[in-house]
Chain A
Amino acid sequence: MRRVLNRVLLSVVGLVLLVGGLAVVARSRGWFHDQLGSVLHTAHKPLITPSQTERLVGHGWWWWVAFGAPGLLLVICVWWFFAQFRRRPVKTIRVADTSSDAGGGPSGLGTGFGMVGDDADTITVNGYALSDAIEDDLERTPDVESVHARLVRRRHGPRLNVAVRTEAGAEPRAVLEAIRDEAVEHGRGAVELEYLPVFVELRTARGLPRRRIE
């Protein structure tokens, strides 16, 4: 959603700057004076005249606007700025414990003795742990040079972002199939997720493929 938000806000700012800038230039240079004379007024006047200031200050709402508008803009801008650095990692995934000591709870003593509020038959998996495991799994597949995987929280559950760097001469289809059939499938099965969408960015090492002797 940040993508949409950024693009909408950038469009608004861009439109305001474009239209405002063009209006200023039009008034300054006397463009379209015949058509838009009533809007743009004459150019032979100071930017702000004393009579204008007096008229503005005379209004009851003026001080509200003079402090409210920049204040509101400042708050929005601060929020928008910090929204860019917000990360959405998957902190925990809860998995039903099917091992032999299920029901023991985190302390192994059963509920009521361990951590309060934690279900005795549930294991909590850290999102980083899962993405690291998927990373390790992928690094062991042939032709893969390096992998960077992380889980991101999305509206309908976690999503896996994978950046794969293959060795020179690797086949893209083979790499993608390996990701689908092994790493993602194992990770998804391990935490019993219904489905785990993947976002892959594929790169190759530069240079020539290793020679194969036939």
Chain B
Amino acid sequence: MSVLDAPPEGGAPPADGGGEGAETPRPAGYRKPRRAWSTRGFTAALTALLLGGVAGTLLFFGIAARLEHTQQWAYDVLDWVQTHQWTDRWVWIGGTVAAVLGAWLLLLAWTPGKRHLLPLEPVGTDMTAHMTRRTAGTLLRHTALSSTGVLDARVRVSRRKALVRVDYHFRDPDELHDELETALRERADALLLARVPFVDVRIQPTSGR
């Protein structure tokens, strides 16, 4: 780190305001954080492999036929194709499988994926930040556990809702519920999540362990 003279800012405003309150005015170039989109590398590799396998087999089939070295299985396939009608059971089963597979691929191609990542409000420009759902759940769990009388808390966070199940003892349930709700809402607001999840608190008495 030898050269530390201040580099030019690139004309970007020091936009540090996207945070706590949603009411604070956004800087000019502000874009709402979007969900993380998966590359779909695994699906693509698998599809390419299978499709390439089919194409290669066809090519092999054709070349072998031209060289008159046709394998026995190729004759069997040709024979099957020429002796079975379109009404054959395996024809429409195969068609159904292909259609379901196609629908699945379309679903994968058109949905974001990376469901475990929640977008965060960027702190400053040039930063894209995400947090895993489990992380958000763990942070909310810490808050829930810091209340008196709480024995355990299990948190499940989705994009819109955080479901917090709390085991408690020796507390007035209404009072505890209100306290937890206030504390958890406040915590959820401070987590920098681009979409603050609605906190749903469910408490149940436990006899302890």
- List residues of chain A with CB under 8 Å of any chain B CB: 2-3, 6-11, 13-25, 27-29, 42-50, 66-67, 70-71, 73-74, 77-78, 80-81, 84-85, 95-96, 98-99, 133, 168-169, 171-173, 176-177, 179-180, 186, 188-204, 206, 208-209
Contact = CB atoms under 8 A, between A and B. Distances in A.
B105 to A, nearest CB: 3
A77 B81 CA distance: 26
A28 B39 contact: no
Interface of B: 1-8, 10, 12, 19, 37-45, 47-49, 51-52, 55-56, 58-59, 62-63, 78, 81-88, 91-92, 94-106, 108-110, 117, 120, 123-124, 126-132, 134-135, 138-139, 142, 145, 190-192
B62 A67 contact: yes
A203 B131 CA distance: 6
Contacts of A46: 81-86
Of residues A46, A50, A171, A190, which shows the largest number of chain B Cβ atoms within 10 Å of its Cβ?
A46
B189 to A, nearest CB: 11
A189 B67 CA distance: 65
A28 B96 CA distance: 11
Contact of B123 (A3, A23, A173): A173
B55 A70 contact: yes
A189 B128 contact: no
25 contacts: A6-B39, A6-B40, A10-B40, A13-B51, A14-B102, A15-B102, A18-B106, A19-B102, A21-B96, A25-B99, A46-B82, A46-B86, A48-B81, A50-B82, A70-B59, A73-B52, A77-B51, A77-B52, A98-B2, A172-B191, A191-B3, A196-B126, A198-B128, A199-B128, A204-B135
